Structure 1
Amino acid sequence: MSQKRHAKAHNEYDTLHEVLMCPPHEMRIKKPINEVQKSYEDENIDQEKAVQEHQFLTEMLQRHGVDVRLISPHPKLPEQVFTRDLGFAAENGMIVGRMKTDIRQPEIEECQKWLDENHIVYESISDGTLEGGDVLIDNDVMYIGDSSRTSEKAIKRLKKLYPEKTIMTIPFDEQYLHLDCIFNILSEGTALLYPDALADDLVRDICMRYRTITVTKEEQFTLGTNVLSIGERKVISLPENKQVNHDMREMGFEVIEVPFSEIIKSGGSFRCVTMPLRKYKS
């Protein structure tokens, strides 16, 4: 019998060792489920280009020592490339969520099947809905987006699962999809933030905890906050988000620019397409 494995992650910025991704072979906009998709519904997605972008990202991660695990794309699941939405890893293992839209719920079943086949222990959330893009962890603090995608019932469940953590609930308008589309933690004490999406008191609270790089409205639309920290102050970001990349470099980060313009048409970028399985200090 194969030994069970436990996923592990303490925060958003430790070294990424193992990640779950899904190639976008079936990616397309069938029925728009967010504002970004509505903008590109007529143009839709060039699948061949999307696959090339995803492959380039995969190879970039591998060059930086990341073990990239791939789940096979299902022909009826056009959003499956966004593996982060399926849940999250914390220091005590993997949490698998529950999707808000019916069209995406079968992705959870495919994820659970993959985790079972690879002997990775997980706990499923059955109370309400929970999508991983709404969860950010910074050691003893867990930020949870209170949005149209993640419900109060699920947040209450996470509070019971993580009594030792300070749970900070962040309400925001559903047009921004997930919390990581307006807020992301780059390192201990540094974060990206699109302040226009949050109430003033929440912005003040975040700015007291972090040195914040403010993201403009234009670069929020091109998912400027949705970067991927892979450890040692290295961050994967879109080349189009020039101001964000400049500001991160000014704060001492190594910015690795990866083309991803086709995949972001569906409303997600680098953090959205990567589900960390092991992320910890080397």
Structure 2
Amino acid sequence: MALSRRATPRRYLMCSPRHFEVTYSINPWMDPGKPVDTPLAVAQWEQLRDLYRSLGHTVEELAPVPGLPDMVFAANGATVVDGRVLGARFAHRERVDEAAAHLDWYRAHGFAHVREPVHVNEGEGDFAVTASYVLAGRGFRASPLSHGEAQEFFGRPVIGLELVDPRHYHLDTALAVLDDSADEVMYYPPAFSPGSREVLRRLFPDALTAGAEDAAAFGLNAVSDGLRVVLPQAAAGLFGPLRERGFEPVGVDLSELLKGGGSVKCCTQELREPRDLRELRL
């Protein structure tokens, strides 16, 4: 029987793909030989932004910088927990300059606790926040040393998870948090090492697991407000299982941005306030 679900208003940070293009390849999805339709990417992104607002969420916008085409993937720029901001340190030189643009935005918008990291992490690309844990991916981008840095900064248990499939180079391509008040997730098991799969089974025995087709459609690159789950419309195999669990899947088309190796979650940085402030807004 489906559970009773409740949506909670969220605050997101997004960055327009006005300068989006694929001129280099730093993941298996990027092919500089494949043409990119930037106006279409902008239109698809605007539909996602407007959808969030129509669902009652607040969307802040980070100004895109010419020459940094991957800034549209705003989730990579930081991780925000209880109003504390751990910035990013990118693994590839093509994205290094994005980090400062993100930190400048947070400092200019009243975030008092902002840390420039020592170790490589790519924000919510490899950090996923549940009620009890910060799940932390490693294997392709983030340094394992970033896990300890995040635990000390956020004061929350950080659980390391080894990624083994290069198509799922970030944790947010292989796992999504469905309900951050109840430690509920969905994930694609083959993206993880055997030991990490066992950890996930122990921590989340009732998790929804995705198949290969939906994972390849970036169905795990999803954003949930506790009721509505926004995900690529091509991940059709996840819609029924989500409904059975009481969620309302909302499909969107971000096919142009997939050419850069990203989708819904990659475009969406959650600005998590301290819980007491968030509850005042409900």
State the TM bucket, normalised to the shorter chain: 0.7 to 0.9
Identity of aligned residues (%): 23
Does the residue aligned with 1:42 lie in a helix, a strand or coil?
coil
Task: Give, as a single letter, the amino acid of the residue that structure 2 aligns with 1:223.
Answer: F
The corresponding residue for 1:262 is 256
Does the residue aligned with 1:244 lie in a helix, a strand or coil?
helix
Superposed CA deviations along residues 172-207 of structure 1, whole A, max 9, x for unmatched, are 126112111111221224321111122233223322
- Alpha-carbon distance in structure 2 between the residues aligned to 1:168 and 1:155: 8
Stretches of structure 2 that go unaligned for 5 or more consecutive residues are 1-5
The corresponding residue for 1:29 is 22
The corresponding residue for 2:80 is 89
Shift of 1:106: 0.9
The corresponding residue for 1:184 is 176
The structure-2 alpha-carbon separation of the partners of 1:181 and 1:63, relative to structure 1 and needing over 3 Å to count, comes to: same
Does the residue aligned with 1:95 lie in a helix, a strand or coil?
strand
Task: Give, as a single letter, the amino acid of the residue that structure 2 aligns with 1:143.
Answer: L
- Alpha-carbon distance in structure 2 between the residues aligned to 1:119 and 1:173: 38
- Alpha-carbon distance in structure 1 between the residues aligned to 2:14 and 2:146: 24
Give the strand-richer structure, 1 or 2: 1
- Alpha-carbon distance in structure 1 between the residues aligned to 2:183 and 2:132: 13
Once superposed, what is the RMSD of the aligned Cα atoms?
1.9
Superposed CA deviations along residues 216-258 of structure 1, whole A, max 9, x for unmatched, are 2222122111110123x11101111110122111211011111
Task: Give, as a single letter, the amino acid of the residue that structure 2 aligns with 1:218.
Answer: E
- Alpha-carbon distance in structure 1 between the residues aligned to 2:153 and 2:7: 22
Task: Give, as a single letter, the amino acid of the residue that structure 1 aligns with 2:252.
Answer: V
Name which of structure 1's ranges 58-67 and 140-149 shifts more when overlaid on structure 2: 140-149
The corresponding residue for 2:3 is none
Stretches of structure 1 that go unaligned for 5 or more consecutive residues are 1-12
Match of 1:157 among 137, 149, 156: 149
The corresponding residue for 2:230 is 236
Shift of 1:66: 1.4
The corresponding residue for 1:10 is none
TM-score normalised by L of structure 1: 0.88
- Alpha-carbon distance in structure 1 between the residues aligned to 2:131 and 2:192: 23
- Alpha-carbon distance in structure 2 between the residues aligned to 1:276 and 1:92: 10
The structure-2 alpha-carbon separation of the partners of 1:264 and 1:78, relative to structure 1 and needing over 3 Å to count, comes to: same
Would you say 1:138 and 2:130 are equivalent positions? yes
| Runs of 4+ residues deviating >3 angstroms | 278-281
Does the residue aligned with 2:29 lie in a helix, a strand or coil?
helix
- Alpha-carbon distance in structure 2 between the residues aligned to 1:124 and 1:152: 18
Match of 1:78 among 66, 69, 88: 69
Does the residue aligned with 2:10 lie in a helix, a strand or coil?
strand
Q: How many residues align?
A: 266
The corresponding residue for 1:215 is 210
Does the residue aligned with 1:49 lie in a helix, a strand or coil?
helix
- Alpha-carbon distance in structure 2 between the residues aligned to 1:63 and 1:126: 35
Task: Give, as a single letter, the amino acid of the residue that structure 2 aligns with 1:154.
Answer: S
